[in-house]
């Protein structure tokens, strides 16, 4: 597979959810100059107590009946029954609908489930998405599974949803827990899956908490500029100067690079390791820092994508606005990048040629080339990034080069809807919470207004990417505590109604 080399094409590949997104050009051995991501310290349980690992024999292709469709693979799921009140009590089951990566990582970053399980006496299950982590079709051999479009062809959102339905139904049957209500939860792409799961499989899940799920970021439903507009606002809201410095830096970098010795000068300014540098990679590296810091602009220190301090956007702007840095744009930018890439202070240089993928997120590139045509790349004149238009043709052409596939541009809205969602779901469907934090660039594609009494939007002005699902900390602000309280109350109501209906029907 050919690697992506230009800056603009790089962004769409790495931008979605949780990628290790430093530019990567196939050359020399990858290193880990900045700290390897580790699970956040767990406030409730030790890591070993969090869950047991199990496997489910999953069918390769739910929707067709070719001989190959009948192949199976081992799908991993994590389970914790420590708090569960059991099937006889019809105690609930909370299922995390896994995203595009190693499910352990998501589980370890979804403290909300561990912390609410005791209250609900809930069984916890985390299902891994096919083609990620240890849930690899074709005998578990990732090299085979990822070798070409004939094998990767089975990596799709509809297959993943059907996997979850099959697994949950089987699990409930095995536990004689058919009457235990299931709530699905997920963040980011996992949140999209949770919302869609409730809509498509209401007979399996009675409700969904879809956190930071940009289900409207497709087709022409929302503006392709919304994503970067929000990042722009994030920085602007902290400091107008900070925004201006970043906005002005791109041409300065470009100009410097074109001068003789310019690249070496940039290398020195940004402490880039000696193995590789080019201007697009450098710009991509900086872009990643701004995008992901905006996404994870949490009010407390975190270690989700990288180790970060509380309010990291503010910290970045502090570095940029620091009078000590004088008028040197690159020194300012370096200070900002250092917040994202080197908060622990361990890095000696930064590797622009880092292919590491500690959370096994590589399959997203395929998903972004087939169905996940999320529109995020537009930059208007005000953008903190250089102005650019969203260009479908570029995407299609790159995907054709990389995989020989053509994106199905309109498939997600054909299958899951999204257009006129208020109209469509006003009198259809129930029991979904759409949480969005407005500092999260993905909130531009989220459901920000309640649709009906039971399709409820919760919006946190100060919130970032699925902050509600994270482990609580003693320093959590009131608004975050309130969000979680609201969510718990709504889920309680769903369960109360469920048990009420069940008792009524039994009469």
Q: Which is nearer to a second copy, 178 or 264 (CB)?
A: 178
Q: How far is the CB of 344 from a second copy (least distance, A)?
A: 40
Backbone angles phi, psi at 331, to 5 degrees: -65, -40
326 makes contact with a second copy (CB under 8 A): no
User: Catalytic: which of 129, 307, 311, 465?
Assistant: 465
Among 257, 425, 457, 488, the residue binding a second copy under the rule CB under 8 A is 425
SS3 content of the chain, % helix, strand, coil (to 5): 45, 10, 45
In the complex, what is the shortest distance from the CB of residue 89 to a second copy, in angstroms, rounded to a whole number?
A: 18
Q: Which position among 165, 331, 347, 488 is part of the footprint of a second copy (CB under 8 A)?
A: 165
Among this protein's residues, is 22 annotated catalytic? Answer: no
**Residues 27-66 vs a second copy: string with x where CB under 8 A?**
--------------------------------x-xxxxxx
- Identify residues 443-462 at the interface with a second copy (CB under 8 A): 454
Beta-strand pair 72-80/123-127? antiparallel
The answer to whether 128 touches 75, Cβ cutoff 8 Å, is yes
The one catalytic residue in 188, 226, 249, 430 is 188
Nearer to a second copy, 263 or 425 (CB): 425
Nearer residue to a second copy within complex by CB, 36 or 63:
63
- 500 is a catalytic site residue: no
> Nearest approach, Cβ of 457 to a second copy (angstroms)?
16
Residues 126-155 that bind a second copy (CB under 8 A): 149-150, 152-155
3-class SS letters over 263-296: HHHHHHHHCECCCCCCHHHHHHHHHHHHHHHHHC
Q: Which is nearer to a second copy, 157 or 303 (CB)?
A: 157
Determine the Cα–Cα distance for residues 209 and 198; give it in Å rounded to an integer.
9
Burial of 468 (0-12, 13-18, 19+ CB in 10 A): buried
Question: Does the protein bind a second copy through residue 163 (CB under 8 A)?
Answer: no
Taking CB under 8 A as the rule, does residue 174 contact a second copy? no
Q: Which one, 456 or 469, has the nearer CB to a second copy? A: 456
Distance in angstroms between the alpha carbons of the first and the last residue of the chain: 61
d(CA 41, CA 108): 9
* Active-site entry in 440, 443, 466, 468: 440
From the list 405, 448, 457, 459, which residue makes contact with a second copy (rule: CB under 8 A)? 405
Q: Smallest distance from the beta carbon of 485 to a second copy, in angstroms? A: 23
Q: Judged by CB under 8 A, does residue 420 bind a second copy?
A: yes
Q: How far is the CB of 426 from a second copy (least distance, A)?
A: 6
Site string for a second copy, 203-232 (x = CB under 8 A): xx----------------------------
Does 385 sit near a second copy (CB under 8 A)?
A: no
DSSP string, 37-48: P-PPPPSSS-GG
465 is catalytic: yes
b/e map 293-321, b = 16+ CB within 10 Å: bbbbbbbbebbbbbbbeebbbbbbbbbbb
Segment 469 to 498, residues that bind a second copy, using CB under 8 A: 497
Query: Smaller CB distance to a second copy: residue 63 or 393?
Result: 63
Angle between helices 7-15 and 279-295 (to 10 degrees): 30
User: What is the crossing angle of helices 240-258 and 279-295, to 10°?
Assistant: 160
Which residues have CB under 8 Å from 441's CB, separation 6+? 226, 227, 228, 230, 231, 234, 291, 294, 295, 376
Angle formed by the axes of helices 329-341 and 279-295, to 10°? 60
Residues taking part in catalysis: 188, 440, 465
């Amino acid at each position: 597979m050919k690697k992506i080399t230009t800056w603009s094409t790089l962004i769409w590949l790495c931008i979605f959810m949780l990628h290790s997104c430093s530019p990567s050009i196939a050359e020399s051995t990858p290193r880990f100059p900045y700290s390897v991501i580790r699970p956040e310290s767990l406030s409730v349980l030790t890591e070993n107590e969090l869950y047991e690992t199990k496997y489910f024999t999953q069918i390769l292709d739910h929707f067709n009946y070719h001989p190959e469709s009948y192949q199976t693979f081992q799908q991993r799921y994590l389970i914790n029954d420590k708090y569960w009140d059991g099937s006889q009590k019809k105690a609930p089951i909370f299922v995390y609908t896994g995203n595009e990566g190693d499910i352990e990582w998501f589980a370890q970053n979804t403290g909300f489930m561990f912390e609410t399980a005791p209250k609900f006496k809930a069984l916890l299950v985390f299902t891994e998405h096919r083609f990620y982590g240890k849930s690899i079709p074709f005998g578990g051999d990732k090299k085979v599974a990822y070798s070409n479009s004939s094998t990767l062809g089975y990596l799709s959102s509809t297959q993943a949803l059907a996997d979850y339905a099959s697994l949950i139904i089987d699990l409930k049957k095995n536990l004689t827990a058919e009457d235990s209500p299931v709530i699905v939860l997920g963040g980011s792409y996992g949140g999209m899956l949770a919302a869609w799961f409730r809509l498509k499989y209401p007979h399996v899940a009675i409700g969904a908490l879809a956190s930071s799920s940009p289900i409207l970021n497709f087709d022409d439903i929302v503006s392709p500029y919304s994503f970067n507009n929000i990042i722009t606002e994030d920085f602007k809201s902290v400091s107008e100067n900070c925004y201006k410095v970043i906005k002005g830096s791109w041409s300065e970098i470009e100009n410097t690079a074109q001068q003789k010795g310019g690249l070496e000068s940039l290398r020195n300014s940004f402490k880039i390791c000696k193995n590789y540098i080019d201007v697009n990679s450098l710009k991509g590296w900086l872009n990643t820092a701004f995008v992901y810091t905006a996404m994870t602009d949490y009010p407390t220190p975190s270690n989700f994508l990288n180790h970060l301090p509380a309010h990291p956007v503010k910290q970045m702007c502090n570095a940029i606005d620091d009078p000590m840095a004088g008028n040197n744009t690159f020194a300012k930018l370096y200070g900002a990048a250092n917040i994202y890439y080197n908060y622990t202070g361990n890095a000696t240089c930064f590797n622009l040629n880092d292919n590491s993928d500690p959370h096994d997120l590589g399959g997203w590139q395929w998903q972004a080339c087939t169905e996940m045509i999320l529109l995020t790349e537009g930059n208007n004149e005000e953008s903190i990034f250089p102005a650019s238009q969203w260009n479908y043709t570029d995407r299609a052409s790159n995907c054709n080069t990389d995989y020989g596939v053509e994106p199905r541009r309109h498939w997600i809205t054909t299958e899951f809807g999204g257009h006129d969602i208020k109209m469509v779901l006003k009198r259809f469907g129930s029991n979904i919470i759409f949480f969005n934090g407005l500092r999260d660039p993905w909130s531009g594609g989220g459901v920000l207004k309640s649709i009906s009494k039971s399709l409820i939007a919760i919006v946190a002005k100060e919130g970032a990417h699925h902050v509600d699902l994270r482990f609580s900390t003693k320093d959590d602000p009131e608004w975050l505590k309130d969000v979680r309280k609201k969510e718990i109350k709504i889920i309680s109501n769903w369960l109360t109604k469920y048990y009420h209906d069940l008792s009524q029907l039994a009469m």
